[in-house]
Amino acid sequence: MTIFFCGINMKKIGIIGAGPAGLMAAIRAKNENNIVTVFETNEKIGKKLLMTGGGRCNITNAAYYQDFLDNVVTNKKFIYSAFTNFDNFSMIDFLNKNGIETIIEEDGRVFPKSEKAIDIVKFFEAKLKEKSINLITNTKINKVYKDKNFYLTDQNGKTYEFDYLIIATGGKSYPKTGSDGIGYKLARKLGHEIIEPKAVLVPIFIKDKINFKAQSFRNIKINILTDKDNVSVEGDLLINANFLTGPAALKASSYMRDKKISKVSIDFYPNLTYNDLDKQILNLLGENSKKSVGNALKTLLNPSLLDEIFRRNNLNLGKKSSEFTKEDRKSLIEKIKDFDLEFDRLGSFESAVVTRGGIDVTKLNPKNMQSKLVEGLFFAGEILDIDCLTGGFNLQICFSTAYSAGTYIKENT
């Protein structure tokens, strides 16, 4: 795309990164008195955006104000102002008014009605063209300095000059999408300190070798015992041979980082007491007294899980239901309610949904994301030391912080 830097007193705004934060910042910052240019390492915009929500694009979450903020794990107070100015319902309204219909699922997650992330990317592409925003792809900015203005140099040695600069390069999660941490390097060159980046919302690896292929479970509870606290997380879970993933596991992993893990266990029936479960098992055994225990209890649990529990407890699935003793039932229920696993490690940046750490927010103005150290420098999105639980909350923080930065620039150029 051709870049026009002409015009009397036209302010030039540079944005590094064409992910959700960079795109929202660009759209919000543009007015008739400025020229906005967005740089993107990849060939196309929104590469990571395409991956969110399993390709469906989990845009935000419809939780009400305080419930939403309760899902912010790091630096909740810092985000109050930006979120208040452009919250989750503002984002939904913004999309709806621009022709993108949305749906809200039971857990509050918000998706485009088409359930296609590409539609969100196309929406931003159209907005860039509509507002005559310059987009330069296949370009990595690897050097930056400020004299009177900001000077950016790309991988080919070409230099660009801007009055304002927004760094929205993301963190280090999913590095194959271009999130390689370059934004931290640029921020350091401009005098900002970086809180050590860490991978969060990751799979939980276990030392146990579970004898079944990947199995999904709904509405379970993961219990984590650490050296600092006890954590319980409910939700859906996917169990693989040597790791746990899915919403419940990812959420639990957020509380596990930098803690010594003493125990990880799963309660497959969190809404039932031991007595409730015992009655249910007794009924199934009574109704199928002439069948094997395995056949009698096949509606109680996933057959593969039932087999694994019986194997661990040295119980016989082939035993007749009428011969299944009270002690057998107790052993079975204890494992259903407390399926313990030996913790190995948390996943790396390769599998992380988001990054914890990044730009130290104490050096930023929470109202507009502007640096307190360098005038005209802004940060937005995952590069900030802000992270949330899974469910659309992190993406909303990208939009809210970008909106704040873009709005300030728009109103001051």
Domain boundaries, given as residue ranges, for the chain: 11-199+354-412, 203-347
Residue 317 sits at the vertex; the CA angle it makes with 312 and 320, to the nearest 5 degrees, is: 140
The pLDDT value given to residue 177: 80
Instruction: Give the residue among 160, 179, 91, 67 at the shortest CA–CA distance from 400.
Output: 91
The pLDDT value given to residue 53: 85
d(CA 65, CA 93): 15
Length of the chain: 413
> At 27, phi and psi to the nearest 5?
-60, -40
The answer, yes or no, to whether residue 1 has pLDDT greater than 80, is: no
The answer, yes or no, to whether residue 2 has pLDDT greater than 60, is: no
What's 11-199+354-412's CATH class? alpha beta
Q: At what angle do helices 76-85 and 393-411 cross, to 10 degrees?
A: 60
pTM of this prediction?
Answer: 0.91
Q: What's the mean pLDDT in 155-163?
A: 97
Mean pLDDT rounded to a whole number for the chain: 94
Query: What digits encode the pLDDT tens for the residues 188-229?
Result: 999 999 999 999 999 999 998 888 888 999 999 999 999 989
